[in-house]
Amino acid sequence: MSESRYPPVRLIPLGGLGEIGCNMMVFEIGEDIFLIDAGLMFPEEYMLGIDFVIPDFSYLKSKKDKVRAIFLTHGHEDHIGALPFLLQEISVPIYGTAFTLALVERKLREYELGSPVQLRKIKPRDVLNIGDAKFEFIGVNHSIVEGVGIAIETPIGTIIHTGDFKIDQTPLGDNMIDLNRFADYGDKGVLLLLSDSTNADYEGFSLSERTVKKRLEKILSDSTGRVIITVFASNIRRMQGILEACDKLGRKVALIGRSIVDNIESASSLGILDVPDDLLVDVREIKDLDPSKVTMITTGSQGEPYSALSLMATNAHKYIQIQPGDTVIFSSRFIPGNERAITRIINQLYRKGAEVIYEQVKNVHTSGHAYQEELKMMLNLVKPDFFMPVHGEVRLLAKHINLAKSMGMSNEALILAEDGDIIKVTPEGITKEGRAPVGKVFIDGKGVGDVGTLVLRDRKHLSEDGLVVILSVLDGENGEMVSEPNLISRGFIFEDFHKEMLQEAKNLVKKTIMEANSERRKDSGELQGEISKILKRFFNTRLKRRPMILPIVLEM
């Protein structure tokens, strides 16, 4: 094959490859840059006090004049959550489906961006020509409505990004994934496929949403008391199935939790969701209804401490208390890292006499991501020259690579990339050609990036070993001690049980100050460092603990 006269296309993942979350892919096509998604990641256990994490945009800052558009595959936080921060750096049109943009609009209201945001609505099979590329949006099934994959026709060939997808042959409400369009591109020739790897280690096919609806309907039919169902607030189709089942069974439905109410209102206003007349009731009316005719859809599927379900489980909800005879259904996946919080709520619910049903007990949830046989089907339909798995930890990307190998793709046609890899694509091959600056930016309250690894390390230190503050006051003229050192312990030891040891520590500090010459006493920084070193050694020797030491030397 002769070398192409067109420049190569470069792909740079800034997030989402080698991890779950922070999904963001950069496409460099000629002189133009396009972005697919800009998501966040929820904090891991070691990220103490962090609200969420976004990708580092450093790579884009020097190239922002070349960025032409941001394309959103769907409205989950791990694909749109970083937009408010990215838009402070880059002002370009954002393309997404109606429901995706409704979620973006609501999110952007929380931030003052200073200039209007260009939100441009698209729908499946719409085509855009921008610069040297043509973009077509292809409808897919996912756990949120109006998800799309994107076919990008470039001067060197077509690249397809599936977005998050599954192949559900009996979906609720949505049209089935547009397999015909993927196949059409496969017949014409696809240079590179980027495909969702989230469930690459699950064999077979994912469960259909319609099957989950039937199982939920059976539980609702068999229950003689109130049924409380917690779902992801973005799972409109799951809530649609619940509403339809309750209408059929004569059960009234109360929506509890701001995100659920907002999302159902948005979906209804867009014509995506049909809410039967007289089905919904205010949560305050529940006490007057027959328990066997009441269903509640609520937030709290991940054990969030102030969610509606958590408040119910601890008798802290204003209107609803769990009572014997209630059935609580977790119609959602337990996200890794949240298991302990969810289990704690489940135990509290059982203590109050409720029956609790969750995915591990009965199949009351299905994933929005393709299993192995669905991933194979996508590969078979698209028939790419080259393949790069996206969206997943390294083990999942590697599993997806192995699936492609099992279908006959050669090692040379496959590439396992991670965040920061610069991927060069030509008709002749796909290779890594260096690294881009990548990383994670921690968001803590209104602070953006002001919490780094050193701060996290200090927080971890404080959480494990506690803090000791030692205050010494010296005379500013002669350097003599004005009073005894004052020692305060927080999270280290119970002071009343260790009075003698703490007095020893004070005496050590006093001795250190008294033995210091006049020059050292005037240098508070050096004196504080000496006090810190002596106390660290003392507490480690006596208790085998290493609290954070904060010495303060004041002059009067």
Per-residue pLDDT, 133: 97
Tell me the backbone φ, ψ of residue 515, rounded to 5 degrees. -85, -10
Which of 168, 174, 196, 444 is the catalytic position? Answer: 196
User: Is the model's pLDDT at 385 over the cut of 60?
Assistant: yes
CATH 3.40.50.10710 domain extents, the chain: 209-358
pLDDT at 523: 66
**CATH homologous superfamily of 209-358:** Metallo-hydrolase/oxidoreductase (3.40.50.10710)
Chain centroid to CA 59 = 22
Q: Which regions of the chain carry the CATH code 3.60.15.10?
A: 9-204+367-448
> Which position has the higher pLDDT, 542 or 20?
20
* Active-site residue identified among 74, 317, 369, 400: 369
Helix segments in 194-307, DSSP class H: 209-222, 236-249, 258-269
| Residue 130: strand pairing partners | 133
Nearest to 378 by CA among 181, 523, 98: 181
Among 35-39, 293-297, 552-556, the least confident range: 552-556
Over residues 448-471, mean pLDDT: 58
76 flagged as catalytic:
no
Q: Provide the pLDDT confidence category of residue 239 given band limits of 50, 70 and 90.
A: very high
Q: Is 196 a catalytic residue?
A: yes
Select from 1.10.357.10, 3.30.460.80, 3.30.565.10, 3.60.15.10 the CATH code of 9-204+367-448: 3.60.15.10
Q: Does 455 score more than 50 pLDDT?
A: no
**Mean pLDDT over all residues of the chain?**
89
Q: What strand order describes the sheet that includes 67-71? A: 119-121, 94-96, 67-71, 32-36, 24-29, 9-15, 421-426, 429-435
**pLDDT value for 471:** 83
* pLDDT confidence tier of residue 413, bands split at 50, 70 and 90: very high
Q: Give the pLDDT of residue 544.
A: 75
Taking only the tens place, the pLDDT of each residue in 294-342 is 999 999 998 888 899 999 999 999 999 999 999 999 999 887 777 888 9
Q: Assess whether pLDDT exceeds 80 at residue 40.
A: yes
Q: What is the mean pLDDT of residues 85-99?
A: 95
In the prediction, which pLDDT does 473 show? 81
Q: How confident is the model at residue 530 (pLDDT cuts 50, 70, 90)?
A: confident
Mean pLDDT of the 166-192 span: 94
pLDDT, residue 84, reads 92
Determine whether domain 466-555 maps to CATH 3.40.50.720.
no
Give start-end residues of each CATH 3.10.20.580 domain in the chain: 466-555
- What mean pLDDT do residues 242-267 have? 95
Q: What pLDDT score does 496 carry?
A: 61
Give the CA radius of gyration of the chain: 29
Q: What is the pLDDT of residues 258-292, one digit of tens each?
A: 999 999 999 999 999 999 889 999 999 999 999 99
